[in-house]
Structure 1
Amino acid sequence: MPHSDLMPIGLFARRSGLTASALRFYADSGLLRPSETDPVTGYRYYGAAQLTRAITLRRLRELDMSLPVVETVLDSDAEEASRLIDAHVAKAAGDAMAVRHRAGVLKASLAGAPGPPIAVLKGPVLADAVEQILTATTRDPGMPVLGGLRIETGPEAVTLTATDRYRLSTRTLVPAKTPTQTWAATVRGDELRAAAAEIRRSPSVRIEATPFGVLLRAPDREDQFCGLLTEEFPDYRLMLASLGDVTTRVTVAKGLLLRTLEDHSAERVALDVADHRLWVLPAQGEACEVSLASAVTGQSLRVWFDLTTLYPAVSTAIGPDVMLDLRGPQRPATIRSADRGDLTTLAMPVKPDHPAGIPHDKDRLHASCSHQR
């Protein structure tokens, strides 16, 4: 007779999330044998200590992991098991991307004639631009278009644009050959990001349009296909046209501002422009504000940003110095290189916070705790 702490297969199945038939299969395959089997009835019984292995087995199989790999994972220590799981996930993701790529190329070929050329660009330049602009995307199941990159071609330039509603990044590229036609579409950002790694080492990349996406073609390399997003892209041109006048302009060393933001401990950061300097106000509980050497023109101003909005906007700017064009505490700020205007990011401020300890009068500019960089 089985011990009282053993469970019949039905109860063990319910507790582990495995079916009784699956438990029989795993017993026969040697992955999870019952603790005892009644020699007369053939009934199988499992111990409570086997639940952990059973649940882990179920979760591994939910990852579509093969039985041999499952067995290796179950018999490994935690570090090795984690490595094996990571390797399996990486392979599955790579396989899925490869299937999507091959399907895209196949769909493109169904049109018969080659797609019309959109533009020819330098591979490393296009790859850098794609990665810079994609920092302004987000994964939003309700608005998939926010994860895409808008590509527009005109007579003189190719424009890349992305927005997550809090940031908008746009960059213009001069093509190696003048585009033969105007064209615009929103391309899947995740597929472009993967393609960027492939085209970075290509001297030139030819972009061709297809009914379902774009083909990135480089000499001696496999074509890269990136699908289209059909949702309407936000009307960013209307927003750019209604920005309003710049009231305050600050030019500051990019590395200096980034280091200051990295040292900031709060989720929000306040920039204060006064007495021809840029100040980064302390977070609640911090002792000191930071004064950054900068060139300032225009009005004094205090504006708040989420750190997750401001930091990537500054970090992707091109060149050693970054220019902040401010329009007020509730208007979008323009962030770009001080000497190159082909990459521009708009960052939306947030409502002001008033954490304890932050002074609000001009005397604080001379407080003994403040320090300069």
Structure 2
Amino acid sequence: MPIGAFARRSGLTSSALRFYADTGLLPPAETDPVSGYRYYGPGQLARAVALRRLREVGMPLAGVEAVLGAEAGEAARLLDEHVARIVDQAAAVREKAAVLRSALGKEEALPLGAVKGPVLADAVEQVLTAAAYEPGTPALAGLRVEVDAEALTLTATDRYRLATRTLVPAEGPARTWAGTVDGAELRAAVGGIRRCPAVRLEALSHGIRFGLGGRGDRYCRLVPEDFPDHRLVLSSLGGATTRVTASKELLLRALEEQPGADAVLRVGGHGLTVGTVDDAGPRLAVPATVTGRALRVRFEVTTLHPAVSAAIGPDVLLDLRGHDRPVTVRSADRGDLTTLAMPAAPAGTAT
């Protein structure tokens, strides 16, 4: 096929194909000796697409040549090494940018208080289990931080789950403040935060600075997009109709042993069971204390399992409100971490 047609099918421009032909990475199958027109065969398409994708992830030409010429296992190893280098370079750039910010001028900072590093790190990891990356909605991958005179509240949501945890800072803030912190940058900072006895938080115009004492500072940028109105969700929940207290370990085990993507919780006077949607599979009994009316609620395992897993302590408390209302998952003895999980729609209904 002529170079133009091959360019359209491979996603490479004609000029890029000429360049890769000249470097020897992708020579044409045939070149007209009179006109100089280049022609490519269908068998070259897979190599062209792989070449394009490797360049899209920043692979240098020498690396591209090595990957394309390697066996599958070796090619995967080379790609992993390249990604690791990119991640390390990004971390180094982030650190240098933080130093550069300070060098450009003293930016006015708002003190947000101090929190024990291990406690803050645990809270960030627990709450971020409810975050999710979605193109076009970066706020869903972030962590909402709200500070007032009494508490530091962390919240994340992917619209199907919502997790929130409240911490009491050792020192109160200068005033109330709220912002959404980039989740990826915060995850990268968790290791340093965890090793610091006390972390001082300061709000800047476009980010949060975590003061780690002798370990230096970590800076995480703010996401400018609006965070979902989680306070409206929390205030409109209404009271629970059924309350269940169960072993976290046994409930997780029952969810893990379900063969399908969904699991059905049946709650009643005889306790709690976890079974399949069609009732054909095993129905596993989980010892539990139940108060309120009987319910049958269907959940996606990928929604309920992380909500239960993130709970603090050996027991979890489930507040159920019906088959189509969010369930609140809390620790039975500590209520400062709360997760909401949406049930799955019953079969045959719109989601």
Q: If the length of structure 2 is used for normalisation, what is the TM-score?
A: 0.86
2:246 maps to what in 1? 252
Pick from 208, 218, 222: which aligns with 1:214?
208
Judge which range, 238-247 or 91-100, deviates more: 91-100
| Correspondences of 1:1-373 after superposition (within 5 Å) | 22=16, 25-26=19-20, 28-32=22-26, 43=36, 48=41, 52-100=46-94, 102-103=96-97, 106-107=100-101, 110=104, 112-284=106-278, 286-353=280-347
CA-to-aligned-CA distance 1:177-197 (integer Å, 9 cap, x gap) = 333432221111121111113
Instruction: Give the residue type in structure 2 aligned to 1:309.
Output: T
Contact 1:104-1:212 within 8 A present in 2 as well: no
Q: Which whole-Å CA distance do the structure 1 matches of 2:151 and 2:86 have between them?
A: 38
Q: Which whole-Å CA distance do the structure 2 matches of 1:209 and 1:70 have between them?
A: 43
- Deviation at 1:46? 7.0
Judge which range, 326-335 or 255-264, deviates more: 326-335
- Please say which structure displays the higher CA radius of gyration: 1
Q: Which whole-Å CA distance do the structure 2 matches of 1:70 and 1:236 have between them?
A: 46
How much is the aligned-residue C-alpha RMSD, in angstroms?
A: 3.0
Instruction: Give the residue type in structure 1 aligned to 2:132.
Output: T
- Deviation at 1:47? 7.4
Q: What SS class does the counterpart of residue 341 from structure 1 fall into?
A: coil
Q: Which whole-Å CA distance do the structure 2 matches of 1:124 and 1:131 have between them?
A: 11
Contact 1:104-1:226 within 8 A present in 2 as well: no
Describe the shift of the 1:106–1:43 C-alpha distance in structure 2 as closer, same or farther (beyond 3 A): same
Kindly tell me the number of residue pairs found equivalent between the two proteins: 347
Describe the shift of the 1:295–1:108 C-alpha distance in structure 2 as closer, same or farther (beyond 3 A): farther
Judge which range, 261-270 or 129-138, deviates more: 261-270
% identity of equivalent residues: 57
Contact 1:202-1:218 within 8 A present in 2 as well: yes
Q: What SS class does the counterpart of residue 150 from structure 1 fall into?
A: strand
Contact 2:319-2:329 within 8 A present in 1 as well: yes
CA-to-aligned-CA distance 1:149-196 (integer Å, 9 cap, x gap) = 111122232111112222211111122333343222111112111111
Q: Which whole-Å CA distance do the structure 1 matches of 2:225 and 2:10 have between them?
A: 43
Judge which range, 238-247 or 192-201, deviates more: 238-247
Q: Which whole-Å CA distance do the structure 2 matches of 1:249 and 1:97 have between them?
A: 45
Q: Which runs of 5+ in 1 are unaligned?
A: 1-6, 355-373
CA-to-aligned-CA distance 1:346-372 (integer Å, 9 cap, x gap) = 222233349xxxxxxxxxxxxxxxxxx
Contact 2:317-2:331 within 8 A present in 1 as well: yes
- Deviation at 1:134? 0.8
Instruction: Give the residue type in structure 2 aligned to 1:159.
Output: T
Q: What SS class does the counterpart of residue 213 from structure 2 fall into?
A: coil
Contact 1:121-1:176 within 8 A present in 2 as well: yes
Contact 2:143-2:181 within 8 A present in 1 as well: yes
Contact 2:258-2:275 within 8 A present in 1 as well: no
- Deviation at 1:32? 4.6
Q: Which runs of 5+ in 2 are unaligned?
A: none
CA-to-aligned-CA distance 1:12-64 (integer Å, 9 cap, x gap) = 767766566555544554445567888x8695877746555454334333333
- Deviation at 1:212? 0.5
Describe the shift of the 1:223–1:32 C-alpha distance in structure 2 as closer, same or farther (beyond 3 A): same
